[in-house]
Chains A and B, each alone.
Chain A
Amino acid sequence: MSETKYQAGDAVKVRAAFPPGHVRTPHFIRGCDGVVTQYVGSHPNPEELAYGRDGMPKKPLYRVKFNQADVWPNYEGPAKDTMVIDIYEHWLEKNQ
């Protein structure tokens, strides 16, 4: 198991990066602020696997929770509504 940089409760920001290749971080969540809820293991890097390589070293994967209203400024539902997205460590930055 690799060392993990974040733990449950940590405030994070998704990197606002827009590379052209295969990634598993959805476009809509890039640049958004969330909170780590869980570390869910380290997995071969899909950005490598997608091109036929072995994906090593593994990347820590986290479940990250976001408020709907923080992601969509015009969100119509209650303020308590959320989303949880699985995001690899290299797509996250610490948020103060």
Chain B
Amino acid sequence: MSHDDHDHSHGHDHSHDEPHPYQPDIEDAPFTERMVMAQAVAELIVEKGIVSTDEMRAQIEFMDTREPALGAKLVARTWLDPEFKARVLTDVKAASAELGIDIGDIPIQAIENTEDVHNVVVCTLCSCYPRMLIGLPPDWYKSRAYRSRTIKEPRKVLEGFGTTIPDNVEVRVHDSTADLRYVVLPARPAGTDDWNEERLTDLVTRDSMIGVSLAKSPETA
């Protein structure tokens, strides 16, 4: 399995890992009724000619290509090119296409962290997430605790991620309730003036694009 999510800084649970991604779903843990249901539905829609196995496989492989590195590339470019940043802020789809990234049909809006505003994204009603630009969300983003608390006590939630926002900076929480998804453009860390795009990209974490963290500083990179 391509476990190339670059952002495994937090402790996480590997109990669902599998060595062979396209083999039958035999895991160490017993399979659950819903896992059986998923396999049955996948087979039924193929047998009925609604979809082909090739399309199913292509879709799974396509989602595997969606990862935080795509968003990181976009963010790093905004740090280097103000005109590109302006285009990102008005049209993420078009700006992403310039980098060869197709974000699909669900609109994504970029929200920029500045000296005065720190942005953080939540979906209180479900778990909406800019998956086409940064991949599938981490478990905690979908958790009851994150969904309940971020909208009401964002600074405490951010503290839990080791992120302290000074009181003179506005914390702005975005609840993606409807047809748009949000990606945060974290601020460029100090001390990176002579860095090239590749090095800058390594500073842009998934969490910084959700807004629970800042971009990495050069010292910790």
| Direct interface between A and B, CB < 8 A | yes
Seen from chain A, the residues whose Cβ lies within 8 Å of a Cβ on chain B are 24-26, 28, 40-41, 43, 46, 61, 65, 68, 71-72, 75-78, 80-88
Please state if B125 and A78 are interface contacts (CB–CB under 8 Å): no
Please state if B151 and A28 are interface contacts (CB–CB under 8 Å): yes
What distance in Å separates the Cβ of A13 from its nearest Cβ neighbour in chain B?
A: 17
In the complex, which residues of chain B have a beta carbon less than 8 angstroms from the beta carbon of A41? 107, 179
> Does B155 touch A at the CB level, under 8 Å?
yes
In the complex, which residues of chain B have a beta carbon less than 8 angstroms from the beta carbon of A77? 153-155, 167, 171
With A40-B109, A41-B107, A76-B153: A86-B175 Cβ-Cβ less than 8 Å: yes
In the complex, which residues of chain B have a beta carbon less than 8 angstroms from the beta carbon of A26? 124-125, 151, 175, 177
Seen from chain B, the residues whose Cβ lies within 8 Å of a Cβ on chain A are 107, 109, 124-125, 151-156, 167-168, 170-180
Please state if B175 and A24 are interface contacts (CB–CB under 8 Å): no
With A41-B107, A77-B171: A86-B177 Cβ-Cβ less than 8 Å: yes
In the complex, which residues of chain B have a beta carbon less than 8 angstroms from the beta carbon of A83? 151, 172-175
Which listed residue, B170, B175, B179, touches A85 by the CB 8 Å rule?
A: B175
Nearest opposing residue in chain A for B173, CB measure: A83
Complexed CA–CA distance, A75 and B149 (Å): 12
16 contacts between A and B (CB under 8 A): A26-B125, A26-B151, A26-B177, A40-B107, A40-B109, A40-B179, A41-B179, A46-B178, A76-B153, A77-B171, A81-B170, A84-B173, A84-B174, A85-B174, A85-B177, A86-B177
Please state if B155 and A86 are interface contacts (CB–CB under 8 Å): no
Complexed CA–CA distance, A18 and B71 (Å): 38
Closest 6 CB pairs of A and B: A86-B178, A83-B173, A43-B179, A80-B170, A85-B175, A81-B171
Please state if B177 and A25 are interface contacts (CB–CB under 8 Å): yes
With A40-B109, A41-B107: A24-B177 Cβ-Cβ less than 8 Å: yes
Which listed residue, B152, B155, B167, B175, touches A72 by the CB 8 Å rule?
A: B152
What distance in Å separates the Cβ of B210 from its nearest Cβ neighbour in chain A?
A: 15
Nearest opposing residue in chain B for A26, CB measure: B124
Which listed residue, A40, A78, A81, touches B180 by the CB 8 Å rule?
A: A40
What distance in Å separates the Cβ of B209 from its nearest Cβ neighbour in chain A?
A: 17
What distance in Å separates the Cβ of A62 from its nearest Cβ neighbour in chain B?
A: 10
Please state if A61 and B152 are interface contacts (CB–CB under 8 Å): no
Q: Can you name 17 extra interface pairs (CB under 8 A) apart from A86-B177, A87-B178?
A: A26-B125, A26-B175, A28-B124, A41-B107, A43-B178, A61-B178, A68-B173, A75-B152, A76-B153, A77-B153, A77-B171, A78-B170, A82-B172, A84-B172, A85-B175, A86-B176, A86-B179
